[in-house]
Chain A
Amino acid sequence: MFSKIVKALSDLDREKATQEVENLIGEGVDPFKIIQNGIMQGMDLVGERFEKGYYFLPDLIRAGHIVDACSSLVKPLLKSNQSSDKGVIVVGTVAGDIHDLGKNIVISTLESAGFKVVDIGVDVPVERFVEAVRSEKALLLGMSALLTVTMVEMEKVIEALRSDSDLKDVKIMVGGAPLDQEYADKIGADAYGKDARQALMKARELLN
């Protein structure tokens, strides 16, 4: 039932993908399943092709746009609690760093997997991270950095969260070009996402 969306999306055919979403909606298929089994599976395949080196950034961005177009057809039909029952994830790029390409790719990937993501933007100071995690009642915080100079900010945010009795159990995931698992472990993050696909896998693990 969903293989046509999966194929159209993973082949980056926007017209076919949106047409197929409309067809399924017309047939009365559960909108959540359209996201889960159609759009998400298609995006998974795109991510897999990216990871294997068949797809490149332009393809990911195009896929992101197709996902947006498909999701905008389905989202109005979702019951409000369906998209957020996995918990809220707050995501931002740390202070001093304005790079957001990777962060945005991660966000679209998480959103298309049904997570509710609150994007708090770039150049985010420690206090703003803490405040957003608190006010959004986030279960997971994702932080991004592109520079060795700014990645040290992550440790400050982690310290601030860990020393707050209400927020110390919030899961923390980090990512960005200069990072690796070793650095993530060193600063006490719960997970390191090498790329958007891994970030999604880790988010699923952490929130299950």
Chain B
Amino acid sequence: MSMTPRENYWKVVNHEEGEWIPIFWGGTNSSIVPQHYGALCQELGVPDYKRPVGDFGTVNLHPILRERLHSDVELLALGGPHRRHLEEGLIEDAMWGFRMKEVGGYRVFPDQIAPLRHAKTIKEIEEHPIWPNPDDSAYYYGAKERAQKLYDSGKIVLGEASYASAPFFVYPWLRGMDQWMIDPYDQPDLYRYLAQKIIDYSAVILERWLDEVGEYLDVLCFYDDIAMQTGPMVSLDHYRKWILPYEKQLTDIAKKLTKAKFSIHCCGSCHDLLPGFIEVGYEILNPVQTRAKNMEAWRLKKEYGDSLTFYGGVDIQRLLPFGTVEEIRQGVKDLINTLGPNGGFLFATSHNIEPDTPPKNIIAMFDAAHEFGRYPITDK
């Protein structure tokens, strides 16, 4: 191996064949759910793993796990103030004041307890007690030193600006999912006001954070999640009118402060929204849920292989939890043969690995990626 993971990544993400297909194991998504992290650590004999941290996927993967499972990435996440634990198991976010609950080991954000659910006026939005304080040093503490250190490792540095890069996670968590969807029709002024307010705060934090770390990043992650298993939640027209203009404000700012490629996380069948994503400036798609409608690897590669890099793809709904080791190896091989040629593929799972997945399957998957993901890709 003569290239560093970073050098190799930049070839691949620019749609050229590097030495190998980068293995993206260690972001906030396409990771493993916290409640299953211990089982994987035990299987691999990691002696001193810490309590897993993460709302969805474990973000503090132990170095032994990264090493053993061939990870090419290091995660650099935005800091932030501590959350408050309220009664009845509710947790209140200290950045935006939305509330979450743990059910079955998962963080959920029930519409019924969204703090701005019943707001009818801009005044009521203004009265929401918790908004981010961009001057809070907790967001940026030690970021530059850590970024520099990760950069020096030669690994790919994955920047996650958390809920300063997920405006349309924040909106539905403040308003409720259903309200978020119909506000543009029922209360368009309120929608514009709240969406812009979220962007304004996000932009300042993102800008200050990127001032510190932008030069060290290889990937910068943004979040959307506006698709389901069967199709997008909203039309491309809706996306272009009500979502894109806000998201683009963030990518426009980020573009000035980092050379990193921008990744958009959108679960489910987002195929029909991809033209919109490209207009925003996203160049990497995560988590590529290949079991969802129109999201087959061959289709994505054929239609968007030149304009998007695919970060994800290994089916975590059926193949990984229920497949045999042999089936998983074959699935990995097929995925690599489909998405790998001419670059544009970052190997990862189609979301966080779920608790019903046997650890041996996880290991088999990464080992197969390491084995088959060598350029040139030939049908091995």
Contacts and interface: CB of A to CB of B under 8 A. Distances in A.
Chain A, interface SS category: loop
Interface residues of B, number: 30
A123 B103 contact: yes
Nearest to A194: B230
Contacts of A58: 181-182, 184-185, 233-234, 238
Interface string A47-82: 000000100111001100100000000000000000
Contact of B181 (A61, A100, A123, A150): A61
Contacts of B323: none
B321 A98 contact: no
Interface in B98-137: 101, 103-106, 108, 110-111
B106 A147 contact: yes
Interface in A110-165: 123, 147-150, 152
A125 to B, nearest CB: 12
Interface in B173-195: 177-178, 181-182, 184-186
B354 A147 contact: yes
B233 A56 contact: yes
Contacts of B90: none
Contact of B182 (A53, A61, A147): A61
Contact of A57 (B184, B229, B234, B272): B234
Contacts, number: 63
B355 A149 contact: yes
A16 to B, nearest CB: 15
Most B CB atoms within 10 A — which of A56, A96, A100? A56
A53 B184 CA distance: 20
A57 B181 contact: yes
A62 B177 contact: no
**Chain A: number of interface residues, binned into ranges:** 20 to 34
A207 interface: no
A97 B178 CA distance: 18
Contact of A147 (B101, B104, B181, B185): B104
B250 to A, nearest CB: 23
Contacts of A150: 104
Contacts of B42: none
Contacts of A98: 101, 103, 108, 110
B268 to A, nearest CB: 8
A56 B355 contact: no
A53 B238 CA distance: 13
Nearest to A102: B228
B324 interface: no
Interface in B223-264: 228-235, 238
Closest 4 interchain pairs by CB?
A96-B104, A58-B181, A177-B229, A57-B233
Interface of B: 101, 103-106, 108, 110-111, 177-178, 181-182, 184-186, 228-235, 238, 272, 317, 321, 354-356
17 contacts: A56-B233, A57-B181, A57-B233, A57-B234, A58-B184, A96-B103, A99-B108, A101-B177, A101-B178, A123-B103, A147-B106, A148-B317, A148-B321, A148-B354, A152-B356, A177-B230, A194-B230
